[in-house]
Amino acid sequence: MADRMLQFVSLAQHQPDKRASSMRREDFAEIYADFDPAQAGAQSSRCSQCGVPFCQVHCPLANNIPDWLKLTAENRLQEAYEVSAATNTFPEICGRICPQDRLCEGNCVIEKGFESVTIGAVERFITDHAWEQGWVTPPRPRQERPQSVGIIGAGPGGLAAAERLRTLGYQVHVYDRYDRVGGLMIYGIPGFKLEKDVVLRRWKQFEAGGIQFHLGVELGRDLSFAELRARHDSVLIATGVYKARDIGGPGAGLTGIEAAMDFLTASNRQGLGDDVPDFRSGRLNAAGKRVVVIGGGDTAMDCVRTAVRQGAASVACLYRRDRANMPGSMREVKNAEEEGVQFVWLSAPEAFLGDDRVTGVRVQRMRLGLTDSSGRQAVEPTDSRVTLEADLVVKALGFDPEDLPHLWGEPGLEVSRWGTLKVEHRTQMTAMPGVFAAGDIVRGASLVVWAIRDGRDAAARMHTYMQQGTMQVAAE
Protein backbone atom coordinates (compact mmCIF):
# COMPACT_ATOMS: atom_id res chain seq x y z
CA MET A 1 0.00 0.00 0.00
CA ALA A 2 3.04 2.28 -0.20
CA ASP A 3 1.57 3.95 -3.30
CA ARG A 4 -1.19 5.38 -1.12
CA MET A 5 1.26 7.45 0.91
CA LEU A 6 3.63 10.35 0.11
CA GLN A 7 0.85 12.12 -1.79
CA PHE A 8 1.94 15.54 -0.54
CA VAL A 9 3.76 16.10 -3.84
CA SER A 10 0.50 16.06 -5.78
CA LEU A 11 -2.22 16.66 -3.19
CA ALA A 12 -2.55 20.02 -1.45
CA GLN A 13 -3.07 20.39 2.26
CA HIS A 14 -6.72 20.90 3.12
CA GLN A 15 -8.04 21.78 6.57
CA PRO A 16 -11.67 21.01 7.44
CA ASP A 17 -14.07 23.67 6.24
CA LYS A 18 -14.47 26.56 8.66
CA ARG A 19 -17.71 28.42 9.18
CA ALA A 20 -17.74 32.04 8.10
CA SER A 21 -16.73 34.44 10.85
CA SER A 22 -20.06 36.28 10.58
CA MET A 23 -21.88 33.04 11.40
CA ARG A 24 -19.63 31.75 14.14
CA ARG A 25 -19.74 35.07 16.03
CA GLU A 26 -23.41 34.29 16.72
CA ASP A 27 -23.06 31.05 18.70
CA PHE A 28 -20.69 28.82 20.67
CA ALA A 29 -20.76 25.85 18.29
CA GLU A 30 -17.46 24.44 17.05
CA ILE A 31 -16.16 26.38 14.07
CA TYR A 32 -14.65 23.51 12.06
CA ALA A 33 -16.65 20.96 10.07
CA ASP A 34 -15.80 17.26 10.23
CA PHE A 35 -13.84 15.47 7.55
CA ASP A 36 -15.73 12.75 5.74
CA PRO A 37 -13.95 9.39 5.27
CA ALA A 38 -12.76 10.28 1.77
CA GLN A 39 -11.28 13.61 2.90
CA ALA A 40 -9.63 12.04 5.94
CA GLY A 41 -8.14 9.28 3.80
CA ALA A 42 -6.86 11.71 1.19
CA GLN A 43 -5.24 14.04 3.74
CA SER A 44 -3.72 11.08 5.59
CA SER A 45 -2.15 9.87 2.35
CA ARG A 46 -0.02 13.03 2.28
CA CYS A 47 2.12 11.62 5.13
CA SER A 48 5.67 10.86 4.02
CA GLN A 49 6.08 7.96 6.50
CA CYS A 50 9.51 9.31 7.39
CA GLY A 51 12.03 7.14 9.23
CA VAL A 52 12.27 9.53 12.19
CA PRO A 53 8.73 10.90 12.65
CA PHE A 54 9.23 14.32 14.22
CA CYS A 55 5.45 14.65 14.62
CA GLN A 56 5.57 11.75 17.06
CA VAL A 57 8.76 12.98 18.73
CA HIS A 58 7.16 16.35 19.46
CA CYS A 59 3.86 14.90 20.68
CA PRO A 60 3.77 14.79 24.51
CA LEU A 61 1.95 11.45 24.28
CA ALA A 62 4.32 10.05 21.64
CA ASN A 63 1.27 9.14 19.57
CA ASN A 64 1.96 6.70 16.73
CA ILE A 65 0.88 9.31 14.22
CA PRO A 66 2.37 7.88 10.99
CA ASP A 67 0.82 4.49 11.79
CA TRP A 68 -2.73 5.72 12.20
CA LEU A 69 -2.38 8.07 9.24
CA LYS A 70 -1.42 5.11 7.04
CA LEU A 71 -4.30 3.01 8.37
CA THR A 72 -6.72 5.88 7.69
CA ALA A 73 -5.40 6.26 4.15
CA GLU A 74 -6.07 2.54 3.67
CA ASN A 75 -9.62 2.91 5.11
CA ARG A 76 -8.75 0.62 8.02
CA LEU A 77 -10.49 2.98 10.40
CA GLN A 78 -11.13 0.68 13.35
CA GLU A 79 -7.46 -0.25 13.45
CA ALA A 80 -6.55 3.43 13.13
CA TYR A 81 -8.73 4.20 16.16
CA GLU A 82 -7.22 1.38 18.20
CA VAL A 83 -3.67 2.58 17.46
CA SER A 84 -4.64 6.16 18.32
CA ALA A 85 -6.42 5.19 21.55
CA ALA A 86 -3.51 3.00 22.67
CA THR A 87 -1.46 6.07 23.60
CA ASN A 88 -4.14 8.75 24.10
CA THR A 89 -7.09 8.63 26.48
CA PHE A 90 -8.90 11.47 24.67
CA PRO A 91 -7.81 11.66 21.01
CA GLU A 92 -11.06 13.37 19.98
CA ILE A 93 -10.33 16.15 22.51
CA CYS A 94 -6.67 16.55 21.60
CA GLY A 95 -7.67 16.68 17.93
CA ARG A 96 -9.80 19.71 18.76
CA ILE A 97 -7.78 21.73 21.28
CA CYS A 98 -4.11 20.77 20.98
CA PRO A 99 -1.94 23.52 19.46
CA GLN A 100 -0.88 21.27 16.58
CA ASP A 101 0.82 24.21 14.91
CA ARG A 102 3.32 24.21 17.80
CA LEU A 103 3.53 20.43 18.29
CA CYS A 104 2.97 17.64 15.75
CA GLU A 105 2.02 19.62 12.63
CA GLY A 106 4.57 22.32 13.40
CA ASN A 107 7.32 19.69 13.29
CA CYS A 108 6.16 17.78 10.21
CA VAL A 109 9.15 17.23 7.90
CA ILE A 110 7.21 18.09 4.75
CA GLU A 111 8.77 21.28 3.46
CA LYS A 112 6.94 24.57 3.71
CA GLY A 113 5.18 25.26 0.45
CA PHE A 114 3.85 21.71 0.42
CA GLU A 115 2.57 22.25 4.01
CA SER A 116 2.24 19.75 6.84
CA VAL A 117 -0.22 16.91 7.16
CA THR A 118 -3.48 17.94 8.87
CA ILE A 119 -2.84 15.63 11.80
CA GLY A 120 -5.25 17.17 14.30
CA ALA A 121 -8.26 17.06 11.99
CA VAL A 122 -7.60 13.42 11.08
CA GLU A 123 -7.17 12.51 14.76
CA ARG A 124 -10.52 14.10 15.54
CA PHE A 125 -12.19 12.32 12.60
CA ILE A 126 -10.89 8.89 13.59
CA THR A 127 -12.32 8.98 17.11
CA ASP A 128 -15.57 10.76 16.23
CA HIS A 129 -16.13 8.05 13.61
CA ALA A 130 -15.27 5.39 16.19
CA TRP A 131 -17.95 6.77 18.51
CA GLU A 132 -20.50 6.65 15.70
CA GLN A 133 -19.59 3.03 14.94
CA GLY A 134 -19.68 1.93 18.59
CA TRP A 135 -15.97 1.08 18.72
CA VAL A 136 -15.34 3.24 21.80
CA THR A 137 -16.12 1.07 24.81
CA PRO A 138 -15.96 1.58 28.60
CA PRO A 139 -12.77 0.50 30.39
CA ARG A 140 -13.13 -3.22 31.12
CA PRO A 141 -10.57 -4.95 33.34
CA ARG A 142 -9.66 -8.56 32.70
CA GLN A 143 -9.74 -9.14 36.44
CA GLU A 144 -10.84 -7.14 39.45
CA ARG A 145 -8.27 -6.11 42.03
CA PRO A 146 -9.15 -5.43 45.68
CA GLN A 147 -7.06 -2.26 46.01
CA SER A 148 -8.87 1.05 46.01
CA VAL A 149 -7.57 4.26 44.42
CA GLY A 150 -8.66 7.81 45.22
CA ILE A 151 -8.11 10.49 42.58
CA ILE A 152 -8.54 14.17 43.47
CA GLY A 153 -9.56 16.10 40.38
CA ALA A 154 -11.76 15.08 37.43
CA GLY A 155 -9.81 17.05 34.85
CA PRO A 156 -7.81 15.53 31.98
CA GLY A 157 -4.95 14.28 34.18
CA GLY A 158 -7.18 12.67 36.78
CA LEU A 159 -9.46 11.11 34.18
CA ALA A 160 -6.56 9.71 32.18
CA ALA A 161 -5.18 8.06 35.33
CA ALA A 162 -8.63 6.80 36.30
CA GLU A 163 -9.15 5.10 32.93
CA ARG A 164 -5.74 3.40 33.04
CA LEU A 165 -6.15 2.20 36.63
CA ARG A 166 -9.68 0.94 36.05
CA THR A 167 -8.50 -0.99 33.00
CA LEU A 168 -5.94 -2.63 35.30
CA GLY A 169 -8.77 -3.70 37.60
CA TYR A 170 -8.49 -1.25 40.50
CA GLN A 171 -11.50 0.18 42.31
CA VAL A 172 -11.28 3.80 41.22
CA HIS A 173 -12.94 6.73 42.99
CA VAL A 174 -12.65 10.25 41.57
CA TYR A 175 -13.38 13.29 43.74
CA ASP A 176 -14.06 16.75 42.33
CA ARG A 177 -15.39 20.00 43.76
CA TYR A 178 -17.43 20.77 40.65
CA ASP A 179 -20.79 19.29 39.70
CA ARG A 180 -19.63 17.87 36.37
CA VAL A 181 -16.70 15.78 35.23
CA GLY A 182 -14.08 17.38 33.00
CA GLY A 183 -12.52 20.23 34.95
CA LEU A 184 -10.90 22.74 32.62
CA MET A 185 -12.34 20.92 29.58
CA ILE A 186 -15.88 21.71 30.78
CA TYR A 187 -15.56 25.04 32.58
CA GLY A 188 -12.45 26.64 31.11
CA ILE A 189 -12.46 25.84 27.38
CA PRO A 190 -15.29 27.44 25.36
CA GLY A 191 -17.68 25.40 23.29
CA PHE A 192 -16.47 26.84 19.98
CA LYS A 193 -13.24 24.88 20.55
CA LEU A 194 -14.68 21.90 22.42
CA GLU A 195 -18.40 21.23 22.56
CA LYS A 196 -19.36 19.92 25.98
CA ASP A 197 -21.09 16.76 24.78
CA VAL A 198 -17.68 15.53 23.61
CA VAL A 199 -16.46 15.58 27.23
CA LEU A 200 -19.70 14.52 28.91
CA ARG A 201 -19.98 11.33 26.88
CA ARG A 202 -16.61 10.24 28.28
CA TRP A 203 -17.97 10.79 31.79
CA LYS A 204 -20.89 8.44 31.11
CA GLN A 205 -18.59 5.92 29.47
CA PHE A 206 -16.24 5.89 32.46
CA GLU A 207 -19.15 5.44 34.85
CA ALA A 208 -20.32 2.50 32.76
CA GLY A 209 -16.85 1.03 33.16
CA GLY A 210 -17.09 1.12 36.94
CA ILE A 211 -15.27 4.35 37.81
CA GLN A 212 -17.09 6.02 40.71
CA PHE A 213 -17.37 9.80 40.78
CA HIS A 214 -17.92 11.86 43.93
CA LEU A 215 -18.87 15.33 42.70
CA GLY A 216 -19.35 18.50 44.70
CA VAL A 217 -16.77 17.26 47.20
CA GLU A 218 -14.16 19.81 48.19
CA LEU A 219 -11.10 18.62 50.08
CA GLY A 220 -10.62 20.51 53.30
CA ARG A 221 -14.33 21.40 53.46
CA ASP A 222 -16.37 18.25 52.88
CA LEU A 223 -13.64 15.70 53.41
CA SER A 224 -10.23 15.91 55.01
CA PHE A 225 -7.19 14.69 53.16
CA ALA A 226 -6.44 12.29 56.01
CA GLU A 227 -9.93 10.76 55.71
CA LEU A 228 -9.59 10.34 51.96
CA ARG A 229 -6.15 8.80 52.32
CA ALA A 230 -7.49 6.31 54.88
CA ARG A 231 -10.16 5.15 52.43
CA HIS A 232 -7.76 4.16 49.68
CA ASP A 233 -4.61 2.15 49.09
CA SER A 234 -3.18 4.89 46.90
CA VAL A 235 -4.08 8.51 46.16
CA LEU A 236 -3.43 10.73 43.14
CA ILE A 237 -3.58 14.52 43.38
CA ALA A 238 -4.53 15.95 39.98
CA THR A 239 -6.20 19.21 40.92
CA GLY A 240 -4.70 21.43 38.24
CA VAL A 241 -3.88 25.08 38.90
CA TYR A 242 -6.63 27.69 38.96
CA LYS A 243 -5.33 30.55 41.11
CA ALA A 244 -5.24 33.55 38.77
CA ARG A 245 -2.11 35.64 38.58
CA ASP A 246 -2.99 39.18 39.51
CA ILE A 247 -1.89 42.53 38.20
CA GLY A 248 -1.13 45.61 40.25
CA GLY A 249 -0.94 49.28 39.43
CA PRO A 250 -3.25 52.22 40.04
CA GLY A 251 -6.93 51.29 39.79
CA ALA A 252 -6.34 47.53 39.85
CA GLY A 253 -9.14 47.09 42.40
CA LEU A 254 -11.85 48.82 40.37
CA THR A 255 -15.15 47.07 39.68
CA GLY A 256 -15.22 45.58 36.19
CA ILE A 257 -11.76 44.01 36.32
CA GLU A 258 -12.24 40.23 36.34
CA ALA A 259 -10.18 37.05 36.30
CA ALA A 260 -10.20 35.01 33.09
CA MET A 261 -11.36 31.75 34.70
CA ASP A 262 -14.30 33.49 36.40
CA PHE A 263 -15.32 34.97 33.05
CA LEU A 264 -14.97 31.70 31.13
CA THR A 265 -16.63 29.56 33.82
CA ALA A 266 -19.66 31.85 33.92
CA SER A 267 -19.98 31.68 30.13
CA ASN A 268 -19.62 27.89 30.01
CA ARG A 269 -22.10 27.39 32.84
CA GLN A 270 -24.57 29.65 31.06
CA GLY A 271 -24.14 27.56 27.91
CA LEU A 272 -24.76 24.38 29.91
CA GLY A 273 -28.07 25.76 31.11
CA ASP A 274 -27.07 26.65 34.67
CA ASP A 275 -28.43 29.70 36.47
CA VAL A 276 -25.41 32.01 36.79
CA PRO A 277 -26.28 35.10 38.86
CA ASP A 278 -23.05 36.92 37.95
CA PHE A 279 -23.85 36.41 34.28
CA ARG A 280 -27.48 37.49 34.71
CA SER A 281 -26.45 40.62 36.58
CA GLY A 282 -24.05 41.56 33.79
CA ARG A 283 -20.91 41.37 35.91
CA LEU A 284 -19.43 38.48 33.90
CA ASN A 285 -21.30 39.17 30.68
CA ALA A 286 -19.60 41.16 27.91
CA ALA A 287 -22.80 42.05 26.06
CA GLY A 288 -22.67 45.65 24.85
CA LYS A 289 -19.38 46.37 26.61
CA ARG A 290 -15.99 47.58 25.47
CA VAL A 291 -13.80 44.66 26.50
CA VAL A 292 -10.04 44.64 27.01
CA VAL A 293 -8.30 41.31 27.63
CA ILE A 294 -4.77 41.34 29.04
CA GLY A 295 -2.55 38.40 28.04
CA GLY A 296 -1.19 36.52 25.06
CA GLY A 297 -1.79 32.83 25.75
CA ASP A 298 -4.54 30.43 24.75
CA THR A 299 -6.68 31.50 27.72
CA ALA A 300 -6.60 35.08 26.46
CA MET A 301 -7.71 33.86 23.04
CA ASP A 302 -10.59 31.98 24.67
CA CYS A 303 -11.62 35.16 26.49
CA VAL A 304 -11.57 37.50 23.49
CA ARG A 305 -13.48 35.04 21.31
CA THR A 306 -16.03 34.45 24.09
CA ALA A 307 -16.56 38.20 24.48
CA VAL A 308 -17.24 38.50 20.74
CA ARG A 309 -19.93 35.83 20.96
CA GLN A 310 -21.53 37.47 23.98
CA GLY A 311 -22.11 40.57 21.90
CA ALA A 312 -19.37 42.90 23.10
CA ALA A 313 -19.32 46.35 21.52
CA SER A 314 -15.57 45.98 20.92
CA VAL A 315 -12.84 43.55 21.96
CA ALA A 316 -9.14 44.36 22.25
CA CYS A 317 -6.28 42.12 23.37
CA LEU A 318 -3.24 43.71 25.01
CA TYR A 319 0.04 41.83 24.79
CA ARG A 320 3.43 43.16 25.80
CA ARG A 321 5.34 41.40 23.01
CA ASP A 322 4.65 41.11 19.30
CA ARG A 323 2.86 38.41 17.31
CA ALA A 324 6.02 36.36 16.70
CA ASN A 325 6.73 36.14 20.45
CA MET A 326 3.19 35.29 21.48
CA PRO A 327 2.87 32.00 23.45
CA GLY A 328 -0.64 31.19 22.22
CA SER A 329 -1.56 29.21 19.12
CA MET A 330 -1.21 31.22 15.91
CA ARG A 331 -4.27 29.41 14.59
CA GLU A 332 -6.30 30.83 17.47
CA VAL A 333 -4.92 34.34 16.87
CA LYS A 334 -5.99 34.14 13.24
CA ASN A 335 -9.47 32.92 14.21
CA ALA A 336 -9.80 35.77 16.70
CA GLU A 337 -8.75 38.37 14.11
CA GLU A 338 -11.29 36.98 11.65
CA GLU A 339 -13.97 37.38 14.29
CA GLY A 340 -13.16 41.06 14.84
CA VAL A 341 -10.72 41.11 17.75
CA GLN A 342 -8.22 43.97 17.74
CA PHE A 343 -4.71 43.01 18.88
CA VAL A 344 -2.67 45.76 20.49
CA TRP A 345 0.89 44.45 20.30
CA LEU A 346 3.86 45.67 22.33
CA SER A 347 1.56 47.13 24.98
CA ALA A 348 1.36 46.70 28.75
CA PRO A 349 -1.25 48.08 31.14
CA GLU A 350 0.13 50.88 33.31
CA ALA A 351 -3.03 51.97 35.13
CA PHE A 352 -6.77 51.37 35.19
CA LEU A 353 -8.95 54.44 34.95
CA GLY A 354 -12.28 55.18 36.59
CA ASP A 355 -13.85 56.25 39.88
CA ASP A 356 -15.75 53.23 41.18
CA ARG A 357 -15.87 51.24 37.95
CA VAL A 358 -13.24 50.79 35.27
CA THR A 359 -13.67 53.08 32.27
CA GLY A 360 -10.32 52.66 30.55
CA VAL A 361 -6.82 51.26 30.56
CA ARG A 362 -3.73 53.45 30.23
CA VAL A 363 -1.26 51.47 28.15
CA GLN A 364 2.50 51.88 27.99
CA ARG A 365 4.08 51.01 24.67
CA MET A 366 6.95 48.53 24.73
CA ARG A 367 9.81 47.63 22.41
CA LEU A 368 11.64 44.35 21.94
CA GLY A 369 15.10 43.89 23.40
CA LEU A 370 17.53 40.98 23.61
CA THR A 371 16.43 37.35 23.80
CA ASP A 372 15.76 36.27 27.40
CA SER A 373 16.04 32.89 29.16
CA SER A 374 12.71 31.75 27.73
CA GLY A 375 14.02 32.08 24.17
CA ARG A 376 11.78 35.06 23.45
CA GLN A 377 12.85 38.66 23.13
CA ALA A 378 12.67 40.67 26.35
CA VAL A 379 10.54 43.80 26.41
CA GLU A 380 11.56 47.30 27.41
CA PRO A 381 9.22 50.21 28.17
CA THR A 382 9.12 53.31 25.97
CA ASP A 383 7.85 56.80 26.74
CA SER A 384 4.80 56.34 24.52
CA ARG A 385 1.36 55.85 26.10
CA VAL A 386 -2.20 55.42 24.89
CA THR A 387 -5.58 55.04 26.60
CA LEU A 388 -8.13 52.38 25.64
CA GLU A 389 -11.74 52.78 26.72
CA ALA A 390 -13.07 49.77 28.62
CA ASP A 391 -16.19 48.67 30.52
CA LEU A 392 -14.82 45.18 31.25
CA VAL A 393 -11.20 44.17 31.69
CA VAL A 394 -10.31 40.47 31.79
CA LYS A 395 -6.97 39.38 33.26
CA ALA A 396 -5.60 36.34 31.41
CA LEU A 397 -2.09 36.36 32.84
CA GLY A 398 -1.75 32.68 33.69
CA PHE A 399 -2.37 30.55 36.75
CA ASP A 400 -0.53 29.52 39.90
CA PRO A 401 -1.18 26.58 42.23
CA GLU A 402 -3.22 26.95 45.37
CA ASP A 403 -1.49 26.30 48.69
CA LEU A 404 -2.71 22.71 49.07
CA PRO A 405 -0.79 21.91 52.30
CA HIS A 406 -2.54 24.86 53.96
CA LEU A 407 -5.96 24.33 52.35
CA TRP A 408 -5.98 20.64 53.24
CA GLY A 409 -4.22 20.95 56.60
CA GLU A 410 -1.56 18.52 55.40
CA PRO A 411 1.97 19.85 56.01
CA GLY A 412 3.40 16.53 54.83
CA LEU A 413 2.76 17.62 51.25
CA GLU A 414 5.93 19.41 50.22
CA VAL A 415 5.90 22.16 47.65
CA SER A 416 8.51 23.65 45.35
CA ARG A 417 9.52 27.32 45.34
CA TRP A 418 6.85 27.84 42.68
CA GLY A 419 4.14 26.39 44.92
CA THR A 420 3.70 23.21 42.86
CA LEU A 421 3.70 19.85 44.61
CA LYS A 422 7.14 18.31 44.94
CA VAL A 423 7.44 14.74 43.67
CA GLU A 424 10.18 12.24 42.95
CA HIS A 425 10.07 12.54 39.18
CA ARG A 426 10.96 8.91 38.51
CA THR A 427 7.95 7.77 40.51
CA GLN A 428 5.63 10.81 40.67
CA MET A 429 5.23 10.13 44.39
CA THR A 430 5.10 12.98 46.90
CA ALA A 431 6.89 12.92 50.25
CA MET A 432 3.92 10.95 51.60
CA PRO A 433 4.03 7.20 50.83
CA GLY A 434 1.28 6.12 48.48
CA VAL A 435 0.36 9.71 47.55
CA PHE A 436 1.14 10.65 43.96
CA ALA A 437 0.64 13.86 41.97
CA ALA A 438 0.33 14.60 38.27
CA GLY A 439 -0.47 17.32 35.78
CA ASP A 440 -0.39 21.07 36.29
CA ILE A 441 -0.19 20.79 40.08
CA VAL A 442 3.32 19.37 39.50
CA ARG A 443 4.53 20.98 36.27
CA GLY A 444 2.66 24.30 36.48
CA ALA A 445 0.03 25.58 34.07
CA SER A 446 0.40 23.67 30.81
CA LEU A 447 -1.52 21.96 28.01
CA VAL A 448 -4.30 19.39 28.30
CA VAL A 449 -2.17 16.92 26.35
CA TRP A 450 0.59 17.13 28.97
CA ALA A 451 -1.94 16.51 31.74
CA ILE A 452 -3.10 13.37 29.91
CA ARG A 453 0.49 12.20 29.58
CA ASP A 454 1.20 12.84 33.26
CA GLY A 455 -1.99 11.08 34.35
CA ARG A 456 -1.21 7.98 32.32
CA ASP A 457 2.35 7.91 33.64
CA ALA A 458 1.13 8.31 37.22
CA ALA A 459 -1.26 5.40 36.79
CA ALA A 460 1.64 3.16 35.75
CA ARG A 461 3.69 4.27 38.79
CA MET A 462 0.74 3.72 41.14
CA HIS A 463 0.23 0.23 39.72
CA THR A 464 3.88 -0.58 40.42
CA TYR A 465 3.58 0.81 43.94
CA MET A 466 0.44 -1.16 44.78
CA GLN A 467 1.85 -4.38 43.42
CA GLN A 468 5.26 -4.01 45.06
CA GLY A 469 4.06 -2.21 48.17
CA THR A 470 6.97 0.17 48.28
CA MET A 471 8.62 2.87 46.22
CA GLN A 472 11.11 5.65 46.72
CA VAL A 473 9.35 8.82 47.90
CA ALA A 474 10.02 12.41 46.96
CA ALA A 475 13.58 13.61 47.29
CA GLU A 476 14.31 16.20 49.94
Q: Tell me the DSSP string of 151-188.
A: EE--SHHHHHHHHHHHHTT-EEEEEESSSSTTTHHHHT
Please indicate, yes or no, whether residues 317 and 446 belong to a single structural domain of this protein: no
Return the biggest CA–CA distance within the chain.
70
Number of domains in the chain: 3
Please indicate, yes or no, whether residues 104 and 18 belong to a single structural domain of this protein: yes
CA–CA distance, 250 with 154 (Å, rounded to integer): 38
pLDDT of residue 470: 53
- Is 137 in contact with 111 (CB distance < 8 Å)? no
Please indicate, yes or no, whether residues 345 and 441 belong to a single structural domain of this protein: no
Residue 364 neighbours by CB under 8 Å, 6+ apart: 347, 348, 349, 350, 381, 382, 384, 385
> Is 334 contained in some domain?
yes
Please indicate, yes or no, whether residues 256 and 354 belong to a single structural domain of this protein: yes
CA–CA distance, 463 with 465 (Å, rounded to integer): 5
| Phi and psi angles of residue 441, each rounded to the nearest 5 degrees, phi first | -65, -15
Residue 1 in this model has a pLDDT that exceeds 60: no
Lowest mean pLDDT among 177-181, 317-321, 328-332, 430-434: 328-332
Residue 316 in this model has a pLDDT that exceeds 90: yes
pLDDT band at 3 (very low <50, low <70, confident <90, very high): low
Please indicate, yes or no, whether residues 210 and 296 belong to a single structural domain of this protein: no
> Is 139 contained in some domain?
no
> Is 138 contained in some domain?
no
Looking at 346, 372, 395, the residue that finishes a domain is: 395
Residue 474 in this model has a pLDDT that exceeds 60: no
Please indicate, yes or no, whether residues 166 and 251 belong to a single structural domain of this protein: no
Per-residue model confidence as pLDDT tens digits over 219-244: 999 999 999 999 999 999 999 999 99
Please indicate, yes or no, whether residues 338 and 405 belong to a single structural domain of this protein: no
Rounded to the nearest angstrom, the gap between the alpha carbon of residue 290 and the centroid of all alpha carbons in its chain is: 27
Residue 191 in this model has a pLDDT that exceeds 90: yes
Per-residue model confidence as pLDDT tens digits over 202-214: 999 999 999 999 9
Looking at 364, 395, 426, the residue that finishes a domain is: 395
pLDDT of residue 370: 86
Residue 223 is part of a domain; what is its CATH number? Answer: 3.50.50.60
> Is 74 contained in some domain?
yes
Please indicate, yes or no, whether residues 290 and 382 belong to a single structural domain of this protein: yes
Q: What's the length of the chain?
A: 476
Looking at 70, 101, 133, the residue that finishes a domain is: 133
> Is 233 contained in some domain?
yes
- Is 123 in contact with 95 (CB distance < 8 Å)? yes
Whose CA is closest to 439, among 428, 426, 427?
428
> Is 474 contained in some domain?
no
**3-class SS at 436?**
strand
Residue 473 in this model has a pLDDT that exceeds 50: no
Please indicate, yes or no, whether residues 267 and 379 belong to a single structural domain of this protein: yes
Please indicate, yes or no, whether residues 356 and 421 belong to a single structural domain of this protein: no
> Is 184 contained in some domain?
yes
Please indicate, yes or no, whether residues 337 and 452 belong to a single structural domain of this protein: no
Mean pLDDT of 329-350: 95
pLDDT of residue 476: 34
CA–CA distance, 93 with 218 (Å, rounded to integer): 26
- Domain of residue 65 covers 2-24+33-133
- Is 405 in contact with 237 (CB distance < 8 Å)? no
Lowest mean pLDDT among 17-26, 194-203, 302-311, 374-383: 374-383
Please indicate, yes or no, whether residues 255 and 342 belong to a single structural domain of this protein: yes
Residue 475 in this model has a pLDDT that exceeds 70: no
pLDDT of residue 357: 97
